[in-house]
Amino acid sequence: MKAVYKRDLRAYFASPLGYVFIAAFLIIINGAFYLTNIQNATNNLSGVYQTILYALIIVVPLLTMRSLSEEYKQRTDQLLFTAPAKASGIVLGKFFAAYTVFVIALAFTVIQVFIVAAFGTPNLASVAGNYIAILAAAAVYIAIGVFVSSLTENQLIAAIASLGIFLGILLLDIAYSLVNSSVVKSILYWVSVYRRFNTFYLGVFSIADFVYYVSAAAVFIFLTVKVIEHKRWS
Amino acid sequence: MIEVSALTKTYGKKRGIDRVSFAIGEGEIVGFLGPNGAGKTTTMNVITGYLSANSGAAYIGGIDVLEDPITAKRKVGYLPEQPPLYMDMTVEEYLNFIFDLKKVRELKRAAHLSEIAALVGLTDHYKRLIRNLSKGYKQRVGLAQALVGNPEVLILDEPTVGLDPKQIIEIRNVIKALGKSRTIILSTHILQEVSAICERVLVINNGQIIADDKPDNLSSMITGDRKLSVRISGARDAVLKTLREVDGIRYAEATIQAEQGAFDYLVEAVPNIDIRKPMFGALAKAGLPILRMTAMDLSLEEVFMNLVASKGAKK
């Protein structure tokens, strides 16, 4: 796992991909910060954090599209899967490499907390809760992205398919606020990454929702491992 | 060291390999010969654990590749047909990554890697980006990768394909040197390669092993000394008459007039008879000098036709 993690992390910054990802992410987030916090002179950063959640739809596909697709295309998967390493270790290495790049990008947004602190008092408990929630929700997106990339050797297809899935999740969230049936509502609640973020957005730290995110990420990592193991039989 | 029993792998309805069985002892260099699509790569992919077989089993050093893949894979170095290289790394970074990936513990990293680089002739290119290397050097990096961790078994899929003649000879020499202490399977569709490197040949066609023998025993088919192209000076009719009287010559015909007063002849011998000496004697006696004599290499297809035919005859 460590070898793959190190290699992938290095590869993000050996190509423009890592920088493009961080730049795209920061442009969106700082735009949101300017429009909500600076323009309205508010100390409530929750708007920015919710924007991050929406930004994931666009930026995570950039981050994960190459993950396994590129290995298939360059045939380096033959190297990985004939090495004395478990498929789960390889997938985890890839997942955490993408995740680390995301964490690096997210770290830059901490500056905003300092800016707010310079002119007012940010609600630090809410800020901390939001960061934890973003980190957990991003794990779900990245796990889905890695999973999609394990299905195709074409990066572009991987990126577009992930984007499609993320937009689908967003639509489910919109559907949630439109339907009246409580049964449908509770089903939608289970698949909506956004709904669960609302508790954090309001400044409440919910263990249940945190566990939900972590387990959803684990499910997609598990599915990715299964896809790879299945490939051997095809 | 390697044992394969009744391995079958199908791709949908198409059969990749069909009940392939063989055993390879420690220290053997075995050539895997067959045309493209015969099942060489499939067999290698199953042995290395990249693919799973539908039925049958593969053992490396007595360990089942399916049951205990990690231990089995630790014993194998694999060079796939297309070397699995990361173009964005230098040779040094790449080999270090392989060292980590294979979780090599018992060897000293720097010493081991520079030893491998020296062995395959990469020392001068150690700090270069793999992307910028020529095809021959990329192939060497692929071979180096297989050697990391000193595996007991090397599986090399068409290691010389796409190289220029000088590089081919260099890589063959490296493989021969490696074979002194390791068990090696290499696949090829070039007949000469097998006789140049291997002690034993497995011939595979349509997913089945059709011959398993020493190259010498297959040599009449492999080296193709049954068909000769001979350039002989003198009148065409006189030459043909002389040739047809030589014992063991089954067939002779003039092909082209290659030089002033000399023709090229295609001469075919009866199986298992070396006609070169009697032919020389007869022509010399008739005062018809031989200007050149070349063995015509049989194409792989012809060898297969022969093998399939002889197999059919036995049955």
**pLDDT tens for each residue of A130-170:** 888 899 989 999 999 999 999 999 999 999 999 999 999 98
Q: Does B70 touch chain A (CB under 8 A)?
A: yes
pLDDT score recorded for residue B91: 95
Interchain contact A114–B (C-beta under 8 A): no
* Residue A81 contacts B, CB cutoff 8 Å: yes
Share of chain B above pLDDT 70, in %: 91
**B interface test, pick of A2, A75, A78 with most B CB neighbours within 10 Å:** A78
Q: What are phi and psi of A43, to 5 degrees?
A: -95, 5
Model confidence band, residue A189 (pLDDT cutoffs 50, 70, 90)? confident
Phi, psi of B157 (to 5 degrees): -95, 110
Helix segments in B179-299, DSSP class H: 191-197, 219-222, 236-245, 276-285
Residues B41 and B47: their CA atoms lie apart, in Å, by 10
pLDDT (tens digit, 9 = 90+) per residue, B253-290?
888 887 888 888 888 888 777 888 888 988 898 888 99
CB contact under 8 A, B70 and A86: yes
- Give me the phi and psi of B248, to 5 degrees please: 100, -15
pLDDT score, position B222: 52
Do residues B101 and B60 touch, judged by C-beta distance below 8 A?
Answer: no
pLDDT in tens, A2-56: 899 999 999 999 889 899 999 999 999 999 999 888 888 888 888 888 889 889 9
Q: What is the dihedral of CA A173, A179, A182, A188, to 10 degrees?
A: -20
Q: Tens digits of per-residue pLDDT, B182-237?
A: 999 999 877 778 878 888 888 888 888 888 887 776 665 555 557 788 899 888 88
> Using the beta-carbon criterion (under 8 Å), do A79 and B89 form an inter-chain contact?
no
- CB-based burial, B243-257: b 16+ in 10 Å, e otherwise: beebebbeebebeee
**Which has more pLDDT, A97 or A38?**
A97
Chain A residues with CB under 8 Å of B69 CB are 84
Measure A70 CA to nearest chain B CA, in Å.
10
- Tokens at B226, concatenated: 């049954």
Q: Is A107 part of the contact surface with chain B (CB cutoff 8 Å)?
A: no
pLDDT tens digit sequence for B21-51: 999 988 889 998 887 778 888 899 999 989 8
How much is the pLDDT for B315? 47
Query: Which of B255, B254, B296 minimizes the C-alpha distance to B275?
Result: B296
Model confidence, pTM: 0.84
- Give chain A's domain count: 1
CB contact under 8 A, B101 and A3: yes
* Best to test chain A binding among B63, B86, B155 (most A CBs inside 10 Å): B86
In angstroms and rounded to an integer, the radius of gyration of the C-alpha atoms of chain A is 18
Average of per-residue pLDDT across B5-25: 85
**From CA A7, how far away is CA A93, in angstroms rounded?**
9
Kindly state whether A16 is in contact with chain B, defined as any CB-CB distance less than 8 angstroms.
no
Confidence class of residue B67 from pLDDT cuts 50, 70 and 90? confident
State percent of chain B over pLDDT 90: 28
Tell me what the mean pLDDT of segment B54-64 comes to: 89
Nearest chain A Cα to B69, which residue? A84
Residue of B nearest to A86 (CA): B70
Residues 194-233 of A with CB under 8 A from B: 232-233
Contact B80, B42 (CB under 8 A): no
Residue A41: domain span: 2-233
Average pLDDT of every residue of chain B: 85
pLDDT score for B198: 87
For residue B162, pLDDT over 90 is answered with no
Instruction: State how far the Cα of B83 lies from the Cα of A74, in Å rounded to an integer.
Output: 9
Supply the pLDDT for residue B301.
Answer: 65
Does A81 sit within 8 Å of B84, measured CB to CB? Answer: no
